[in-house]
Amino acid sequence: MFVGLTLVGMVTGLATGWLGGPSLLMWAGYGVAYAFGGWYGLKGAIETLRHGAVDIDLLMIVAALGALSIGAPFEGAMLLFLFSLSNTLQHYAIGRSRRAIKSLVEMRPDEAQVLRDGEEVTVPIEEVAVGDVFVVRPGDRIPLDGVVTSGEGTVDQASLTGESVPVPKVPGDEVFGGTINESGSLEIEVTRQAHESAISRLIHMVERAQSEKAPTQRLIDRLEQPYVLGVFGLTIAAIAVPVALGNEFTGTFYRAMTLMVAASPCAVIISTPAAVLSAIASGGRQGVLFKGGEHVETAARIDAVAFDKTGTLTQGDTQLTDVFVRDGTADETLTEDELRSVVAAVQARSEHHLARATVRAADARSLDVPDAERFQSVAGKGVKADVDGTTTHIGNRSYFETVLGDAAIDGLEPGLDRLQTLEEEGKTSVLVARERHGDVSVSGWLAFTDTVRPGAAEMIDDLRSLGVEHIVMLTGDNERVAQRIADEVGIDEVQAELLPEEKVATIEDLVGRFENVAMVGDGVNDAPALATATLGIAMGGAGTDVALDTADVVLMGDDLSKIPYVLGLGRRTRRTLTINLAIAFGAIALMVGAILLRGIPLPLAVVGHEGSTVIVSLNGLRLLGFRG
């Protein structure tokens, strides 16, 4: 509104002067233009002065008043009009990037159909508690995070995770608030209250990210104060020196005001937030959460990428594929199912992905699993527990060397040789041994496989096309299995059989070699490595608190193509920043040079100054449409 009134006042004053109309009407028009065009700038300048500083608002107000004082009211009014217009466009650019994220709020329903005493009751989502069960039908938005307890269907999760196709859901699967149930009626048990849901956390963290300034923006903010003071000093010198040399004051003052306008850094200051905030918003709409503008710029510099294997490059749903029972021992009557039951009893106490696969396999066969006692785990190596009065050991060679020592290992060599053979076949394998009265004998072996995620090889190729120099796999799995996966997808280097602390040391070594290193993991067991890397990227963070807390970038879904998207968006943002700063500083240098060497009128300086500000704002907004 104020911009419109400024334009009306400016045109009225100019037209009245040209047509020889009443001077009162002309000055009334210019008065309206100055009052409404300078209102917010004057308020901002006064507020800044109260804190003992100066800013661009003060520059513009002084330049407009200076033009008025030497009989050039139109030039001053035009300056205020274009300054107000450019500020409006800046706010629009930044506001649009924020609205792109805040629109997610509208995707979350206000109410849920909760089952109470066998009947559906409409309840505000703020009043729904963890453990309540609600119903969603085809076409409904899911109001809260939860787990499907009954029914089957497909859910469109694009608004949250960026997945391009609907995801099938069956009992036991996790669903997220704000997503759309496309088919099938579902009953869902609430796992998080409204304020803790994945979409609420996404909105909160993106808003926080948008308030954290990128390094380039912080540098420009630090330079704004001395730069503005420098412009004032240059303006004063441009008046004092020529006047002292005998030049006419009015022309000199006009030229100094033109110089002040041309040298003002409006476009420089808006160039960074216009781009970075648009990049953060663009990522949010693709299911990619940058936790600050700093990480957008960091993504542009990545030279090497390290991947966790299980759950990142592979599906993470490891399957027990082979069970072998050793013949001719004290366990010769042990059947395959009995071995499965004993191993499941021990591994039921473990959170390792191999343990979970063993327990799932036992459940699938409806086996009777006994209780285990005195469970102990050796991280990255194996586990043991007492089952039916006998200690059962399950692990790799390193486990048995660590726990049992050389004397016991000698008796297990045939079993360990068979373990090595299975691993050479590309399967993750463990040895099962039972200990009675100090004697340890082999009971059997278990072999597991995991499948590579679809698109993993294409993702690696995309990273190379972006200029990533080196790609590494970090895993606790054995080297042969890891190398098989690496060969399949095109990894440069494999670091296998790593404990969590060894992953951290490896990342530190990579940073020393390549300086800027990204670590990609699932955000749970990889948290220390994610925190150590230059850029930590966590996959599947929609339901993972650790990922949201630890990583710098969170991929809300498990789409590997989002990893090149992250680095591509960072690189595109860096190019946009470079272009914006070149436009901003180039316009300043061109106009200042022209004023000092040839002299240009104030209106042309105004158009050049405000025009460059508008251009960099719109150029930054282009990042909202980035798709990789």
Query: Beta strands 535-539 and 319-325: pairing type?
Result: unpaired
- H or E stretch at 286: none
Q: Where are the beta strands (DSSP E) in 399-504?
A: 428-436, 439-449, 470-474, 493-495
User: 319 has which bridge partners?
Assistant: 449
Q: Side chain identity at 597, as an amino acid letter?
A: L
At 489 the three-state DSSP class reads: helix
HEC string of 353-379 equals: HHHHHHHHHHHHCCCCCCCEEEEEEEC
Residue 278 CB partners (closer than 8 Å, separation 6+):
93, 96, 97, 620, 621, 622, 623, 624
Alpha carbon distance 354, 430 (integer Å):
9
- Chain centre distance of CA 10: 46
- Angle of helix 198-211 relative to helix 266-285, nearest 10 degrees, comes to 170
Alpha carbon distance 53, 47 (integer Å):
9
Strand 153-156: give its sheet, edge to edge. Answer: 167-169, 153-156, 180-183
The residue annotated as part of the active site, out of 57, 132, 145, 308, is: 308
What is the residue whose two structure tokens read 């209102």? 39
Long-range contact pairs involving 124-127 (C-beta distance under 8 Å, separation at least 24)? 125/177, 125/194, 126/193, 126/194
The residue among 266, 374, 308, 243 whose CA lies nearest residue 523 is: 308
308 is catalytic: yes
Written as one string, the DSSP assignment of 561-623 is THHHHHHHHHHHHHHHHHHHHHHHHHHHHHHHHHHHHT---HHHHHHHHHHHHHHHHHHHHGG
At 537 the three-state DSSP class reads: strand
The residue among 612, 614, 603 whose CA lies nearest residue 73 is: 603
Alpha carbon distance 235, 65 (integer Å):
14
Residue 623 CB partners (closer than 8 Å, separation 6+):
275, 278, 279, 282, 569, 572, 573, 576
Q: How far is CA 471 from CA 176, 302, 510, 513, 518, in A?
A: 33, 11, 10, 13, 10
Q: How far is CA 83 from CA 86, 284, 430, 618, in A?
A: 5, 31, 71, 16
Residue 571 CB partners (closer than 8 Å, separation 6+):
299, 300, 466, 467
The secondary structure of residue 179, as a DSSP letter, is -
Which positions are catalytic? Answer: 308
